[in-house]
Amino acid sequence: MRNTAALFLLIVFPAMAQSRSDSADIERGRELFASNCGFCHGAQAMGTEQAPPLARNRLTAQDRNGEILGPIIQAGRPPQGMPAFPSLTATQISDIVSFLHARAREIRGPRVPEESLLIGNARAGEAYFNGTGNCSNCHSAAGDLKGVASKYSPLLLVTAFLTPKPQAIQVNVIQESGAALSGVLIYADEFVVSFRDSAGEYRSFSRGTLKSVRIDDPLATHKQQMARYSDDDIHNLLAYLITLK
């Protein structure tokens, strides 16, 4: 089952992206893509001799909501021939990303039946949950995950633990003056951090002007775990979680 993890990525990520974009976004994205990107990547994002395909692409499969594709589009990779697009707005980039996810869905083959996911070992999954996986640091079978199997179909249950619903990311900054501010992250890169404070006010700082910045993503562990799972771990965890009715 070497390719199962890749299979999960294909099944899970486009399905998530679908819920977050509607056809108007996709249509706007299609036009923006044709005029800004099609020359190199092909109007249908299938690639040309100049540039790689983006419809069938590892980064598109891994991206959920522009967090991987957005920064590449904005900054480009000028030395490799991918121009920067600093003038595209966040909404325009998001529309282009919706279009790319829609294209990825269009070319994806037929879905694998859900039963084919159910080949793991529940006891091995339980051991992983309480041991190597460290899941029990934050969850418990008798507590927050009680009944989780009644809430989701097998496929959505895999989705739920591979890529839980996005949670607000907390930001805490300390200004040069010593004043502390906190809020919910809107954007961060190596130069800038912006967030909405508890009063609903938009705040944006150049990182150089701040004494400290702390960003706490409640799902950081989940994101890191993605790289650590073997295919067996995923199957076994699913076999275990499915017993939590």
- Calpha distance 114→22 (Å, rounded): 26
Residues 85-124 touching ligand HEC, rule: CB under 6 A, are 85, 96
Q: Which of 6, 71, 81, 180 binds ligand HEC (CB under 6 A)?
A: 81
202-228 burial, b at 16+ Cβ within 10 Å, e below that, comes to ebebeeeeeeeeeeeeeeeebeebeee
Is residue 39 a contact point for ligand HEC (CB under 6 A)? yes
Q: Is the Cβ of residue 57 or residue 98 nearer to ligand HEC in the bound state? A: 57
Residue closer to ligand HEC (CB basis): 85 or 205:
85
Minimum Å distance from CB 173 to ligand HEC? 22
* Contacting range for ligand HEC; rule: CB under 6 A; set: 101-109, 136-144, 177-185, 190-198: 136-144
Interaction of residue 216 with ligand HEC, rule CB under 6 A: no
Report which of 146, 162, 139 is spatially closest to residue 238, judged by C-alpha positions: 162
Residues ≥6 apart with Cβ < 8 Å to 134: 221
In whole angstroms, the minimum distance from the beta carbon of 76 to ligand HEC comes to 7
Closest approach, Cβ 225 to ligand HEC, in A, equals 5
Of the candidate residues 160, 169, 181, 213, the single one contacting ligand HEC (CB under 6 A)? 160
* CA geometry: angle 83, 88, 90, nearest 5 deg: 125
Half-sphere exposure at residue 170, Cβ-oriented, CA atoms within 13 angstroms:
7
